[in-house]
Amino acid sequence: MSPDGTSSNSYDYIIVGTGIAGSALASRLSQRRPRRPRRPVLLINAGEESKDKPLVPQLLVALMLRGSELDWEYESTPQKHLGGRKVYEAAVKALGGGSVIDYGLWTRGDREDYETWVKKSGDSKWSYDGLLPYSEPQVWASASGGTPLGVGDAIKCRSKVERIIATNAYSMKGISIQTNTLVSRVVIEQQDDKKVATGVELANGKINNVQREVVVSAGALQTPPVLLLSCIGPRGDLARHGIPQKVESSKIAQSLFNHMNVKQFWKLRNPEIGAGVGSEKWDDLEYKGANPQDFIVCQSISKTGLEPALAADEDGVRDDHPFLNGLRCHVETFIQYPAVNKESPAPRPDGTHIQSVVLTVLPTSRASVRLKSWSPEDIPLIDSNSYATEADSHNMRKNLTKVQQVFLDTAAGQQMIVGETMTKELMALSSTSTDDEVDRRVQQTAQSIFHPAGTAALGYVVHADLKIIGVKGLRVCDASIFPAPVAAHPMAALYAIAEQTVELID
């Protein structure tokens, strides 16, 4: 029995959240630990099993899973720099996390991205080379030599045409799993002169005790509320909801960043040749049912324009600024051969359209996640603060303009497409559009691509071993720990982080 008289269970390790990192970590811990009378690892997830959902294995229909019962369906607060719009943010509540509804892109980022992690954490284990042994060598260390610049293959985490879900890729045998179970807080007690994590309290009042460690792996949008409800965070923010502070941590939930994107839908000039999904002549078995995308373009933004943009946001910008030091991958572009969109315009996947997607992958805007109340059932308040900096706006302008040049001004582009399909509220863009015109398009259409990170960052909230600063027996293992953006889709990094974390745990 627990101290308050409720029934309790005891585990060696409790992992809150069964996303990519949490699933991998639980599996590895369970495999390496000898069996004990009591089951050593408990996984707690607020959602359900996803394996029996018929749409889940199909990468091509990922969009249809957004807004389903597998999605928290978060949205941001009204965004000042996006004309007051709220931005939808997919967040999975199913075993396997993001691997259940993403497009499965496996990219690793730039070697220089991880050097920033080293500087923030003070530990070389978080370098590109430090993570190298914990990821698939043929993918992580491909021929690019540590830079994604240029045109590269769109490698996907899939088996034939089906997505690989984390809980399928890793054995869950011998792990206790509680689904449809909401966590209220991590129980933290004073033991001698230390604050110690001793268990996890569920929303129903039940407490699961832990013998060794609690690992919070609920994702960059859900990990901060768990920690704040556990009495860890800024005193003022906690007091606002009547939560007593046990551990001061001023940076929790304060450094959120995300990859934002702008899509454009292009009408094909000759759809009858079978260049788009849905055409009768689209017969490429490589892409049927999978993500129909074969390349990614990563580009560096010229220092000439970027330096003054950074200087408008920050004091003391010099040539050794991390985003100016060498050729960095600031933006990413890819083409997908169906055009799919839930909002207007909503072109059908009938082979008549393709879509371009432009991302700012090294954002400088920083945002926050706050509690709505003391209740774990209330969704968090997410202020994505999108395009709050001149640097982010500058980079998006440059890349969107480049896309217009390619499609509208080149012979190849003109031969391929008739023009952009858009709503009447939008003004057509061109390679000569003004900054104000491009900014207006961003305000009207920019969306999240669902890569939130940074809300429990290395060096600020967690030590280099991912232990929460000021608490014994409590770690974080998910995208929250990213201390700076990575010019990549985060899946590969998350698997590598989980694999390395296993080696850090006693």
Active site residues: 451, 489
Longest dimension (CA), the chain: 75
Between CA 454 and CA 257 the distance in angstroms is 6
Instruction: Answer for the pair 357, 336: CB distance below 8 angstroms, yes or no.
Output: yes
Alpha carbons 94 and 499: distance in angstroms, whole number: 21
Q: 183 among the known binding-site residues?
A: yes
Alpha helices (H) in 233-343, listed in sequence order: 235-239, 303-313
Collapse the DSSP code of 276 into the 3-class scheme (helix H, G, I; strand E, B; otherwise coil) and give the result. coil
How does DSSP classify residue 11?
Answer: E
The C-alpha R_g of the chain, in whole angstroms, comes to 23
What does the H/E/C string look like for 199-241? EEEECCCCEEEEEEEEEECCCCCCHHHHHHHCCEECHHHHHCC
8-state DSSP, 481: G
Task: Give how far Cα 252 sits from Cα of 223, 228, 450, Å.
Answer: 9, 8, 20
CA–CA distance, 114 with 367 (Å, rounded to integer): 21
Say if residues 291 and 493 touch (Cβ distance below 8 Å).
Answer: no
Residue 81, C-beta contacts closer than 8 angstroms, at least 6 positions apart? 385, 386, 387, 388, 443
Report the 3 state secondary structure along 430-457: CCCCCHHHHHHHHHHHCEECCCCECCCC
Residue reference for tokens 């879509």 = 355
Distance CA 253, CA 298 (A): 29
CA distance 410 to 61: 32
Residue entry with tokens 């940076």: 251
Q: How many CB atoms lie within 10 A of CB 189?
A: 12
Residue stretches of the annotated binding site: 183
Residue stretches of the annotated binding site for FAD: 183
